[in-house]
Amino acid sequence: MSLCQLFPVPSGNNKEFKWEWRANDNSRRSSQSFERFHDCMEDARRNGFEVELQQAVGETAPGRGAVS
């Protein structure tokens, strides 16, 4: 199974975005943009790709500042 990554793309104004996927070898990409991350991920899977998820980083990353 080929790998792909999901990425945000601008939509309308600077504060809005949608999701698309692209094969890691740049051979294919989604034929449309998706409002929801999950819908984009499911489309990639239906097209034979495994979605490579990356660890979130930065101030808004889940778990940042969590008490251990």
Query: Does residue 34 fall inside a structural domain?
Result: yes
pTM: 0.75
In this prediction, residue 58 carries a pLDDT of 65
Query: Does residue 31 fall inside a structural domain?
Result: yes
The predicted-structure confidence for 8-54, as pLDDT tens digits, reads as follows 999 877 788 999 999 999 999 999 999 999 999 999 999 999 998 87
Longest dimension (CA), the chain: 43
* Complete DSSP assignment for 1-68: -EEEEEEEEEESEEEEEEEEEEETTSS-B-SS-BSSHHHHHHHHHHTTEEE------STTSTTTT---
Question: How many domains, the chain?
Answer: 1
Query: Does residue 56 fall inside a structural domain?
Result: no
Domain range for 16 is 2-51
Query: Does residue 61 fall inside a structural domain?
Result: no
Query: Does residue 58 fall inside a structural domain?
Result: no
Query: Does residue 45 fall inside a structural domain?
Result: yes
Query: Does residue 59 fall inside a structural domain?
Result: no
In this prediction, residue 38 carries a pLDDT of 93
Query: Does residue 57 fall inside a structural domain?
Result: no
